Amino acid sequence: MQPADRVSGSKPYFFSELGKRINQLRAAGVDVIRLDMGSPDLPPDTTIIDALVEAARRPDMHGYTLGSGVQKFREAAAAFYARRFGVTLDPANEVIDLIGSKEGLFILSQVLVNSGDVVLVPDPGYSVYATGAEMAGGEVVAMPLLAENGFRPDLSSIPTEAAKRAKILFLNYPNNPTGATVEREYYEEVLEFGRTYDILIASDAPYTDVAFDGYRAPSLLEAARAGDLAVEFNSLSKIYNMAGWRLGMLAGHTDVVKLVENYKSLQDSASFAPILAAGVTALMGDQEWIEERNQVYQTRRDIALQGVRAAGFSVETPKAALYLWIRLPAGEESIPFCGRILDETGVSLTPGVVFGKHGEGYMRLSLVTPEARIVEGMARLGEWMKGQ
């Protein structure tokens, strides 16, 4: 079967390939410690699971999800934005549910990008910004995230010719993979850039509530003025440990939200109603457990930081998100370097170049593994580095 041109160049998802290698090692008896993927290992609060179970027991919750289930979730999402960021959203027009934010990130380009339009994406970055744009026929222009700029796009270095043709500029803070954060002033600068060139600023913000040392990440929508072309994706995956449930949201500019909503109606039939109901419980319930959960991540972060530094690597202390962005020794390339670590120690880390060419020279460590395993992983890494 001849695949369509639009998919024929697609490479397999890196983590699928890595998973195969890890299965081989495990089959050969290697105790693999996975510090590569960003899938939370802890469950959601029991109130959320109870809400799912209760809703699933109701006979009227199993058909296609109808308006009222969706409506309640949108109201809860709006209440979350009001409580957390002081942002007022109209639940009828300015916020929708998504089957995970990945769905919406992909759709955004499908509804806005024509062939030849530019989409500005952070490099390194979450791969869906670029793959969505490419599938829509767009031209991806990378915005390098460099250490010397605090891992933020330097707006002044975006070529004017590309800015004039750009439809969307993706941002992601707190950032995957670098762990960098930005403040409201930076969002104001980017929004000004968007106004100048008529570009939609799309903030992908699933890590706003995975933060350490009391840090509170802002939302792009706090900085947006009325009429600004601005949207934000958020997700229950990381805030509430619900990655496998597939529940996210898109909020902001009405026209964009409506376009994505319409596309969704052509492609899917909304989330399972009990999942939406449990999402309402997550968004509206007691949020104290999030602080405790963040403490768990913070302890892991500190152990991992201490371990990688003791092993001789250079790494900054992230204020948020789930990752350490570790600089490799000079001259090392991330795929062979991480491959050697995996084969020789059983510790799995993500090569930085997987996130884009400006990720080369780094590797990413995820904090979604229990403390004792991180301790063990750091001990193996330290021993291994002595032999390098």
Q: Which residues contact ligand PLP (rule: CB under 6 A)? A: 38, 100-102, 126, 172, 176, 204, 206, 235, 237, 243, 248
Do residues 76 and 84 touch, judged by C-beta distance below 8 A? no
Closest distance of CB 360 from ligand PLP, Å: 19
Closest distance of CB 383 from ligand PLP, Å: 30
Closest distance of CB 327 from ligand PLP, Å: 20
Closest distance of CB 206 from ligand PLP, Å: 5
Complex with ligand PLP: residue 89 or 322, whichever CB lies closer:
322
d(CA 332, CA 45): 42
Most distant CA pair in the chain, distance:
62
Closest CA to 81 of 93, 100, 94: 94
Complex with ligand PLP: residue 204 or 228, whichever CB lies closer:
204
Complex with ligand PLP: residue 100 or 252, whichever CB lies closer:
100
Closest distance of CB 229 from ligand PLP, Å: 20
Q: Which residues contact 291 (CB under 8 A, 6 or more apart)?
A: none
d(CA 276, CA 74): 9
Closest distance of CB 31 from ligand PLP, Å: 25
Tokens at 315, concatenated: 């790494």
Complex with ligand PLP: residue 345 or 350, whichever CB lies closer:
350
Say if strands 350-351 and 139-144 run parallel, antiparallel, or are unpaired.
unpaired
The 3-class SS string of 177-241 reads CCCCCCCHHHHHHHHHHHHHHCCEEEEECCCCCCECCCCCCCCHHHHCCCCCCEEEEEEHHHHCC
Complex with ligand PLP: residue 346 or 351, whichever CB lies closer:
351
End-to-end CA distance of the chain: 47
Complex with ligand PLP: residue 91 or 104, whichever CB lies closer:
104
